[in-house]
Amino acid sequence: MSSTLKSLKLLSDPTRLRILMLLDRDTLSVAELQEILGMGQSRISSQLSQLKSAGLVADERSGKNNLYSSAASQHLMEVAKLAAQEIPEVATDEAAMRHLLRKRKDLARAYFDELAGRFGKDYVPGRSWKAIAEALIKVLNYRVVADLGAGEGTLAQMLAQRAEKVIAIDLSPKMVEFGQQLATQNGLTNLEYRIGDIEDPPIEKQSLDLAILSQALHHAENPQRAVDAAFRILKPGGRLIVLDLLQHGFEEARELYADRWLGFSESDLANMLEKAGFSQIETIIADRETAPPKFNTLLGIGIRPE
């Protein structure tokens, strides 16, 4: 009872309540909270510290930043949401949050639009043929396959050589246009490109034998939602393959490659797969680059239970 009372007392402060409402919506850094709330760093950090001490907020390190998310119980959040209705600024916060999330996606989309047609000429971290080969070992005899976050679709075109049907999903219209042109030129009539978000791909539920997230998950707004979405569109017995960067500290990747997340640890990826419902989960370090910044490529595999 004392912890509940302490939590309610903490949430009687409008600023802390506003912060918790935002973190219940999505994971945010202190800088992003500053942008939304229009408050100084020290004030926000102080409020986060109190919320974290009470177990209402959790944080994780991503490069130089701490990313914060809500850890409050469902029952407490129900009360908090009722109380938030009495705070006029909450509506403004929600609008600012939507704007921030749009900016995140626009940044990534602009980056990939610029890259369209230049893949293979420019270095992309984790884009290792050795790592892809490790994954392709698992890709025999699949009928319907999706390449989620496909880019120009090099991997999708490789898959189309064997699969009955391949669906390539990407957020960038220019990247989709470029990939579809390549598929047409190469006579790959079984390869279809669609514009869409990997967190909500335009693919029918339980329609895939195999889904692949190749160097796409670290661009997702919410990686767990992307893994959950992959689970939904896989048939029972279907397999998800994830190729991504191992957690690193190369902060410049955010600007150079429009990365949202600085990779993932093996345990992070395994936990995401498990939380989504996958079984027979495996993770390995598929490749280790020798040139700076020495990215490592993480391979994760999970199967949707029958």
pLDDT in tens, 56-68: 999 988 777 889 9
CA distance 156 to 154: 5
pLDDT of residue 1 exceeding 50: no
Of residues 129 and 100, which shows the higher confidence score?
Answer: 100
- Identify the pLDDT of residue 146: 97
Q: Tell me the sheet residues that pair with 146.
A: 167, 211
- Of the pLDDT bands very low, low, confident and very high (cuts 50, 70, 90), residue 131 is low
Mean pLDDT of 112-131: 63
- If one counts every other C-beta atom within 10 angstroms of the C-beta of residue 117, the result is 16
Name residue 248's amino acid.
Answer: H
- Identify the pLDDT of residue 126: 65
**Mean pLDDT of the chain, nearest integer:** 88
For residue 65, what are the contacts with CB-CB under 8 A and spacing of at least 6? 29, 30, 31
Mean pLDDT of 27-50: 92
- What structural domains and CATH numbers belong to the chain? 2-104 (1.10.10.10), 129-303 (3.40.50.150)
For the chain, give the longest Cα–Cα distance: 68
For residue 23, what are the contacts with CB-CB under 8 A and spacing of at least 6? 57, 68, 69, 70
Got the DSSP string for the chain? -HHHHHHHHHTTSHHHHHHHHHHHHS-EEHHHHHHHHT--HHHHHHHHHHHHHTTSEEEEEETTEEEEEE---HHHHHHHHHHHTT-THHHHHHHHHHHHHHHHHHHHHHHHHHHTT-BTTB--TT--HHHHHHHHTT-SS-SEEEEET-TT-HHHHHHTTTSSEEEEEES-HHHHHHHHHHHHHTT-TTEEEEE-BTTB-SS-TT-EEEEEEES-GGG-SSHHHHHHHHHHHEEEEEEEEEEEEBP---TTHHHHS--SS--B-HHHHHHHHHHHT-EEEEEEEEEE--STT--EEEEEEEE---
- Of the pLDDT bands very low, low, confident and very high (cuts 50, 70, 90), residue 150 is very high
- If one counts every other C-beta atom within 10 angstroms of the C-beta of residue 97, the result is 19
- Of the pLDDT bands very low, low, confident and very high (cuts 50, 70, 90), residue 168 is very high
pLDDT of residue 137 exceeding 70: no
pTM to 2 decimal places: 0.70
Q: For a pLDDT cut of 90, what percent of the chain falls above it?
A: 64
- Identify the pLDDT of residue 118: 62
Mean pLDDT of 21-41: 92
pLDDT tens profile 75-103: 999 999 999 999 999 998 988 888 888 77
- If one counts every other C-beta atom within 10 angstroms of the C-beta of residue 204, the result is 11
